[in-house]
Amino acid sequence: MVMPKNYVLIIVLLLLQIPFPGFITGAAGDKNGCIERERQALLKVKEGIIDEYGVLSSWGGEEEKRDCCNWRGVGCDNITGHVNSLNLHSSPLYEQYFTPLAGKVSDSLLELQHLNYLDLSLNNFDESIMHFIGSLSSLRYLNLSYNLFTVTIPYQLKNLSRLQSLDLSYSFDASVENLGWLSHLSCLEHLDLSGSNLGEVNDWLQVVTNLPRLKDLRLNQCRLTDRIPSPLSFMNSSKFLAVLHLSNNNLSSAIYPWLYNFSNSLVDLDLSGNQLQGLVPDGFRNMGALTNLVLSRNQLEGGIPRSFGEMCGLHTLDLCHNNLTGNLSDLTRNLYGRTESSLEILRICQNQLHGSLTDIARFSSLRKLDISNNQLNGSIPESIGFLSKLDCLDVSFNSLQGLVSGGHFSNLSKLKHLDLSNNSLVLRFKSDWDPAFQLNNIRLSSCHLGPCFPKWLRTQINVRLLDISSANISDIVPNWFLNLLPKLAFLNLSHNLMRGSLPDFSSVDAVDDTFPGADFTYMQYCRRDFELP
């Protein structure tokens, strides 16, 4: 069928308006799709940066490097070719070592007028960027965390009215007197000023309360106090605040009423390391969306309110390092109900709880259980083996006693961290016991493992930390034990009566001065977590 000429003309005109990549890149920049002006701006930025590790080696003027959209850390719009993101955060070169950039950040960055994402975190840049940071008006994401600037937070940030995410954590040590600039950032959803000195900011509560779209607020270690003005209006407050981290400040229990205004939205609340006193408040039960509640390192007393059993979405409860008292069974009983099946992490270490572990197996979803450093007694019930999701079990530094056998671990195939140390437990396993788990950390100091060297350790090929000191072992170190040494970062066999020798593994810290007549030497070469007997 032959199409009329006017139809053909219409189709041709429509095709001309489709933004084919080849045509767009040719019009916007060079043949590789990179805007030449922006490429030159990036090269000027590189000139001021000290790059000891060659992080920016892909940035260059050579012909094969002409497309700046292919440079490391540079992102471009697929249609226009404009640079819209720059991600220069430090990355680990090896397991423990980072590759930070340093030096100056040139104001040539202002040539990138479409830049909406900038991440310079985990570097050692100087304060040069502070002189023009307020002019990067297209930014929606800004991360300058962990740079250790010596100046205060620049007030010019108020000009970045499109910002949705701002992370300045652990970069500004100078005292901040005013957070008024935040009131201009009405689009802000994520804010992290952790590590900033906000001790002189008396109105921080009003400022953050009036950020209408805020979802995630992190002000850890900011020297905050809870000077709560009365009345405090919540008319413009966020209805979406889900994450609130205020750890390591000087907040008292007076902060509770302010928190309750976000009862319908809060999911993750961290108030650890403050000055909360008195009983654990009953008001948390009204936070129906709360998933994680961290109240550790305060001065809370008593137990847990019975209403906590109604918190059907609670996954994490951390009350370590407080002054909680009473019977452990009474405390856990107040978590029965809806919380019983949802709780995944329970940390109540470093308190003054007594009693036994008889009811703990009811919490079938537990992944981490830490009840160390209390005054618990009795034995560990074999029913703990029903906690099939458990990957961390720490009951150290109590007064537990009795027998621990393979039955206690029958279903704990996901267990990675086991700490039974500093109790009066007797561990007895069959000689051919092959545990279902593969542990990374094993702490059994002061448990009775001997007199034979524990054969089941042969199966634990992923161990990084092993402490079986003071374990009543009087045996020859078996040859198969040498196969575990290369992966070990920490080894303590001290205060036993072992015989034999170990090779000079420079990557392991091994100590034991109780090998009579043995060729066993101290090895203290590479690790700093070395423990002397």
SS (H, E, C) 309-351: HHCCCCCEEECCCCEEEEEHHHHHHCCCCHHHHHCCEEECCCC
Task: Tell me: do 9 and 115 sit in the same domain.
Answer: yes
Spatial distance between the Cα atoms of 305 and 284, rounded to a whole number of angstroms: 9
Among 3-12, 102-111, 423-432, 479-488, which is the least confidently predicted range?
Answer: 3-12
Task: Tell me: do 127 and 208 sit in the same domain.
Answer: no
Backbone phi and psi for residue 499, each to the nearest 5 degrees, phi listed first: -130, 155
Task: Tell me: do 179 and 211 sit in the same domain.
Answer: yes
Helix or strand holding residue 522 (H, E): none
Spatial distance between the Cα atoms of 26 and 319, rounded to a whole number of angstroms: 61
pLDDT of residue 239: 86
Q: Could you tell me if residue 355 is inside a domain?
A: no
pLDDT of residue 10: 34
Task: Tell me: do 29 and 134 sit in the same domain.
Answer: yes
Residue 528 has pLDDT above 70, yes or no: no
Q: Which residues, in sequence order, are bridge partners of residue 243?
A: 216, 268
Over residues 384-394, the pLDDT tens digits come to 999 999 999 99
Among 144-148, 218-222, 365-369, which is the least confidently predicted range?
Answer: 144-148
496 — pLDDT class (breaks 50, 70, 90): very high
| Range picked from 24-28, 244-248, 330-334, 476-480 for highest mean pLDDT | 244-248
Task: Tell me: do 56 and 131 sit in the same domain.
Answer: yes
Helix (H, G, I), strand (E, B) or coil at 507: coil
Q: Could you tell me if residue 62 is inside a domain?
A: yes
Spatial distance between the Cα atoms of 239 and 261, rounded to a whole number of angstroms: 9
Residue 169 has pLDDT above 60, yes or no: yes
Cα distances (angstroms) measured from residue 521 to each of 252, 513, 529: 52, 8, 18
Cα distances (angstroms) measured from residue 252 to each of 51, 290, 333, 444: 45, 21, 28, 38
pLDDT of residue 27: 32
Cα distances (angstroms) measured from residue 508 to each of 458, 504, 511: 18, 9, 10
User: What's the half-sphere exposure (Cβ side, CA atoms, 13 Å) at 332?
Assistant: 25
Whether residue 381 contacts residue 328, with contact meaning beta carbons closer than 8 Å, is answered with: no
Spatial distance between the Cα atoms of 431 and 438, rounded to a whole number of angstroms: 18
Task: Tell me: do 108 and 206 sit in the same domain.
Answer: no
DSSP assignment, residue 231?
A: S
pLDDT of residue 515: 44
Report residue 157 as tokens: 């940030």
Give me the domain span that covers residue 76: 1-142
pLDDT of residue 99: 82
Spatial distance between the Cα atoms of 391 and 436, rounded to a whole number of angstroms: 12
Q: Could you tell me if residue 56 is inside a domain?
A: yes
Whether residue 145 contacts residue 122, with contact meaning beta carbons closer than 8 Å, is answered with: yes
Whether residue 249 contacts residue 227, with contact meaning beta carbons closer than 8 Å, is answered with: no
Q: Which residues, in sequence order, are bridge partners of residue 346?
A: 317, 369
Q: Which long-range contacts (CB under 8 A, 24 or more apart) does 164-167 make?
A: 164/140, 164/188, 164/189, 164/190, 164/213, 165/140, 165/141, 165/189, 165/190, 165/191, 166/142, 166/190, 166/191, 166/192, 167/121, 167/142, 167/143, 167/191, 167/192
Spatial distance between the Cα atoms of 488 and 21, rounded to a whole number of angstroms: 54
> What is the average pLDDT across 171-178?
88
Task: Tell me: do 205 and 81 sit in the same domain.
Answer: no
Q: Could you tell me if residue 271 is inside a domain?
A: no
Residue 139 has pLDDT above 60, yes or no: yes
Residue 377 has pLDDT above 70, yes or no: yes
Over residues 186-224, the pLDDT tens digits come to 999 999 999 999 999 989 999 999 999 999 999 999 999
298 — pLDDT class (breaks 50, 70, 90): very high
Helix (H, G, I), strand (E, B) or coil at 279: strand
The pTM of the full predicted model, rounded to 2 decimals, is 0.87
Task: Tell me: do 206 and 87 sit in the same domain.
Answer: no
More confident residue, 476 or 509: 476
Whether residue 192 contacts residue 165, with contact meaning beta carbons closer than 8 Å, is answered with: no
Sorted by sequence, the CB contacts under 8 Å of residue 99 that are 6+ apart come out as 52, 53, 55, 90, 91, 92, 93
Q: Could you tell me if residue 8 is inside a domain?
A: yes
Task: Tell me: do 14 and 112 sit in the same domain.
Answer: yes
Spatial distance between the Cα atoms of 357 and 230, rounded to a whole number of angstroms: 46
Residue 346 has pLDDT above 70, yes or no: yes
Spatial distance between the Cα atoms of 456 and 418, rounded to a whole number of angstroms: 14
The amino acid at residue 441 is N
Spatial distance between the Cα atoms of 449 and 428, rounded to a whole number of angstroms: 7
Say which CATH number the domain at 18 has: 3.80.10
Indicate the number of domains in the chain.
Answer: 2
Q: What is the mean pLDDT of the chain?
A: 87
Task: Tell me: do 172 and 227 sit in the same domain.
Answer: yes
Among 31-35, 284-288, 332-336, which is the least confidently predicted range?
Answer: 31-35
Task: Tell me: do 6 and 132 sit in the same domain.
Answer: yes
Helix (H, G, I), strand (E, B) or coil at 168: coil
Of 79, 108, 142, which one is at a domain's C-terminal end?
Answer: 142
Residues in the chain: 533
Helix (H, G, I), strand (E, B) or coil at 257: helix
Of 211, 242, 273, which one is at a domain's C-terminal end?
Answer: 242
Of 142, 159, 193, which one is at a domain's C-terminal end?
Answer: 142
pLDDT of residue 332: 93
Over residues 89-100, the pLDDT tens digits come to 997 655 556 789
Whether residue 512 contacts residue 524, with contact meaning beta carbons closer than 8 Å, is answered with: no
Whether residue 397 contacts residue 376, with contact meaning beta carbons closer than 8 Å, is answered with: no
Helix or strand holding residue 244 (H, E): strand 243-245
Task: Tell me: do 114 and 80 sit in the same domain.
Answer: yes
Say which CATH number the domain at 163 has: 3.80.10.10
Spatial distance between the Cα atoms of 40 and 38, rounded to a whole number of angstroms: 5
pLDDT of residue 415: 98
> What is the average pLDDT across 431-460?
96
Whether residue 530 contacts residue 490, with contact meaning beta carbons closer than 8 Å, is answered with: yes
> What is the average pLDDT across 234-258?
88
